[in-house]
């Protein structure tokens, strides 16, 4: 008998690829997406994708979706407690696996494994250690469609933000930027492809710069380029 699983969902290409590869697993079935959103803005963490578009993705994918809301300023301990509480609720509801789109960051994987296993869930990483250049080109060649909604200003200039995630985009990336943005260089929003019943409708708004306090705690700001969509 297949067990129930959910996908940790950002709305981006890695989460979608994790869902795509999980669809062919023999031991579990995915029927739910789980997203973390900012409680003030209602947007997804890092990607800044509005929750209504995350819901629209779930609808055309034929899946349910649920959210964990976090405040603007939150320490790691509190964040971990919120996610663990949510995972415990999933386990009580009959879920046994948590699917993640991480590719090669060992510390991130270890953190998520520790976090999820303490709740009884089995963490699954369908993309783990796959070459990121091949993952990126496979995503495009499979027929998935995405746009770049967020870029690290220190890694990519504003011309990369808002572009289609396609072969031309990959060709233009600086050599030091990972093709999947696995180091956080950029994030995407997926709106069409093989798993979609129909494309997600969305509007492009303005391109903006967003500054956050530096994660290191020094006086410098952390800046991203963001293509607003609605």
Per-domain residue ranges of the chain: 3-124, 132-229
* pLDDT value of position 218: 52
**Phi and psi for 56 in degrees, rounded to 5?**
-65, -40
Residue ranges, the chain, pLDDT below 50: 216, 219
* pLDDT value of position 2: 85
N-terminal to C-terminal alpha carbon distance within the chain: 40
* pLDDT value of position 220: 57
| 149 contacts 188 by C-beta, under 8 angstroms | yes
* pLDDT value of position 76: 84
* pLDDT value of position 212: 75
- Please count the other Cβ atoms lying within 10 Å of the Cβ belonging to residue 114: 12
pLDDT digits (tens, 9 = 90+) for 81-93: 999 999 999 999 9
Task: Compute CA distances 41 → 51, 72, 135, 205, whole Å.
Answer: 9, 9, 31, 16
* pLDDT value of position 213: 65
* pLDDT value of position 116: 84
| 38 contacts 69 by C-beta, under 8 angstroms | yes
Rg (CA), the chain: 17
pTM (predicted TM-score): 0.93
- Domain with residues 3-124, CATH architecture: 3-Layer(aba) Sandwich (3.40)
d(CA 154, CA 61): 34
């Amino acid at each position: 008998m297949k067990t129930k699983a959910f996908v940790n969902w950002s709305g981006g290409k890695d989460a979608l690829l994790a869902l795509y590869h999980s669809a062919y697993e023999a031991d579990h079935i995915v029927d739910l997406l789980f997203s973390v959103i900012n409680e003030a803005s209602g947007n997804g963490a890092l990607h800044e994708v509005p929750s209504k578009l995350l819901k629209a993705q779930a609808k055309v994918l034929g899946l349910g979706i649920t959210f964990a809301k976090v405040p603007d300023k939150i320490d790691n301990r509190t964040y971990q407690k919120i996610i663990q509480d949510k995972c415990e609720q999933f386990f009580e509801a009959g879920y046994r696996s948590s699917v993640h789109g991480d590719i090669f960051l060992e510390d991130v994987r270890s953190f998520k494994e520790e976090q999820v296993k303490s709740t009884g869930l089995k963490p699954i990483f369908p993309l783990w250690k796959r070459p990121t250049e091949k993952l990126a080109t496979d995503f495009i060649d499979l027929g998935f469609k995405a746009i770049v909604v967020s870029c690290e200003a220190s890694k990519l200039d504003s011309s990369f933000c808002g572009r289609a995630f396609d072969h031309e985009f990959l060709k233009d990336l600086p050599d030091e930027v990972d093709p999947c943005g696995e180091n956080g260089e950029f994030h995407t929003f997926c709106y069409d492809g093989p798993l979609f019943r129909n494309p997600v409708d969305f509007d492009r708004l303005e391109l903006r710069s967003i500054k956050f306090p530096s994660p290191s705690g020094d006086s410098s700001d952390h800046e991203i380029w963001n293509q607003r969509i609605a």
